[in-house]
Structure 1
Amino acid sequence: MGTYIKGINGRFTGKVGSTVGSQCKGISVMKSLPDFSNHKASKKQLAHRAKFRLATRFLQPLYPVIQLGYKNQDSLKSPQNAAMSELMKYTIEGEYPDYKVNLNNLVLAVGSLKGTNRPSVEANGEEVVFTWRYNASSDEMFKDNGVILVAIAEGYYPEYSICNNVRSEGTASMYLPDAPPGTVVHCYIAFAAMDDTNRVSNSVHAGTVIIPEEG
């Protein structure tokens, strides 16, 4: 793949022969079409494809979180691609074909904004309650940061809350995933600046809760 400022006839998009032109974050990009082969895929290729499919399926329902959490990453990558790269390199574990996402290592936001230490979570009926440390003297300039909350139960659709609360509240709650009682839920927290900088903090694994029995 290559970038260019101006072609012979200006910028182009679409396919011309074996070359494809496109725009990525305002940058003109050219790449060649892949060569097609009748050769059977190698085990390494099959393993990569399986890992890629798992990553795609896992991130799809978290798209709004990823769009904010990875917005300021690599300028040549979309937030989705940046999150995909992180997931495939550091979070998906196992040997082909038995891959799984290690939810303890999951990163949903990456940035320079101040994060939080030792957050805690607990289940309360159909909700999970997050609590984090807020120091009025040292955190004053961050008090209006929005809070990103995520709850993930393996095999079930995740729940999330994006900037419905602010850092200075020190606590917030959201619905648990729709999963059976006894299911383990992994919880994550990050902060986002409520201005045009789009700054976020690194996400933190806040702990796990168990979905309680009904009634």
Structure 2
Amino acid sequence: MGTYNKGILGPFSGKVGTVVGANWRGKDIMRSLPKKGSRKASELQLLQRAKFLIVNEFLTPINPILGKYFGSNAGDKTRINQALSYHMREAVTYVDPSFVMEYDKVQIAKGDLLGIQNPTVIASGSNGVKYNWEDNSGQGEAKATDQLVVVVYAPASNLYFYLLTAGTRSAASATLTLPTYFAGLEVQSWITFASADEKHYATSVYMGAVTVS
């Protein structure tokens, strides 16, 4: 693989002859076309591909959250790459004939900000999901203005809903009103706090399942 600043007609993407052009991490690159292999994938390779597919499909809808709040960009490992690696390693298990996500191990954020203290969740009617917690503003770097970040997922319908500003830390309570198509569905959810300037964030907490009413 090589990098270049100017091609004959400037940077390009896609296949041209025997090379492929692309932009990777802000650099224009060229690489040769891969050779077609004749080997069949082993059972282990097929399982790994299936595992990757399940995790990637689960995480992709919440990439905007992961890209903000999961770890820190370090070298070649973006936040989204770190999230993918973590979930491949820790949050998926094989249940014949496929892989399934372990919701209690899923994390939407990983950071050093003081987290949520003693959170609870209930379905509150009118498509609402209500979260309560203890206000721990002033401890460490926790501030009253820290914003509650919520991700809700309905496995049966593969529906997602998230909100970056569901409430403040000092409010000690927030009710999320879901779209009407969530009515009657069991949902899983995860919550975390992020500072108002989004520079600091806490490791998320799994809140379990409730049925939207």
Per the shorter chain, which TM-score range? 0.7 to 0.9
2:166–2:176 CA contact under 8 A, matched in 1: no
Displacement of 1:48 after TM fit?
1.2
Distance change in 2, residues 1:96/1:69 (3 Å): farther
Distance change in 2, residues 1:141/1:111 (3 Å): closer
Q: What are structure 2's unaligned runs of at least 5 residues? A: none
Given residue 111 of structure 2, which amino acid in structure 1 is its aligned partner? Answer: G
Q: Quote the Cα distance in structure 2 between the aligned partners of 1:142 and 1:93.
A: 37
Measured against aligned partners, the alpha-carbon deviations of 1:91-119 in whole angstroms (never above 9, x if no partner) come to: 11115641111111111101111111321
Aligned CA RMSD, in angstroms, stands at 3.0
1:26-41 counterparts in 2 under 5 A?
A: 34-41=34-41
Q: Quote the Cα distance in structure 1 between the aligned partners of 2:61 and 2:189.
A: 15
Measured against aligned partners, the alpha-carbon deviations of 1:121-165 in whole angstroms (never above 9, x if no partner) come to: 000110100111103553785111111011222132111111242
2:171 counterpart residue number: 169
2:72 counterpart residue number: 72
TM-score normalised by structure 2 residue count: 0.79
1:47–1:97 CA contact under 8 A, matched in 2: no
2:200 counterpart residue number: 199
Q: Quote the Cα distance in structure 2 between the aligned partners of 1:61 and 1:205.
A: 18
Distance change in 2, residues 1:80/1:141 (3 Å): closer
Q: Quote the Cα distance in structure 2 between the aligned partners of 1:23 and 1:36.
A: 23
Given residue 154 of structure 2, which amino acid in structure 1 is its aligned partner? Answer: A
1:21–1:28 CA contact under 8 A, matched in 2: yes
1:134 counterpart residue number: 135
Q: Larger deviation: 123-132 or 155-164? A: 155-164
User: How many residues get paired?
Assistant: 204
Q: Quote the Cα distance in structure 2 between the aligned partners of 1:151 and 1:100.
A: 17
Q: Quick one: percent identity of the two aligned structures?
A: 27
Given residue 52 of structure 2, which amino acid in structure 1 is its aligned partner? Answer: F
Distance change in 2, residues 1:44/1:95 (3 Å): farther
Measured against aligned partners, the alpha-carbon deviations of 1:65-85 in whole angstroms (never above 9, x if no partner) come to: 222222624441233222211
Given residue 192 of structure 2, which amino acid in structure 1 is its aligned partner? Answer: A
Q: What are structure 1's unaligned runs of at least 5 residues? A: none
TM-score normalised by structure 1 residue count: 0.78
Measured against aligned partners, the alpha-carbon deviations of 1:161-200 in whole angstroms (never above 9, x if no partner) come to: 112422111111113473462x43222111112226x221
Distance change in 2, residues 1:180/1:65 (3 Å): same
Given residue 40 of structure 2, which amino acid in structure 1 is its aligned partner? Answer: K
Distance change in 2, residues 1:73/1:41 (3 Å): same
Q: Larger deviation: 115-124 or 151-160? A: 151-160
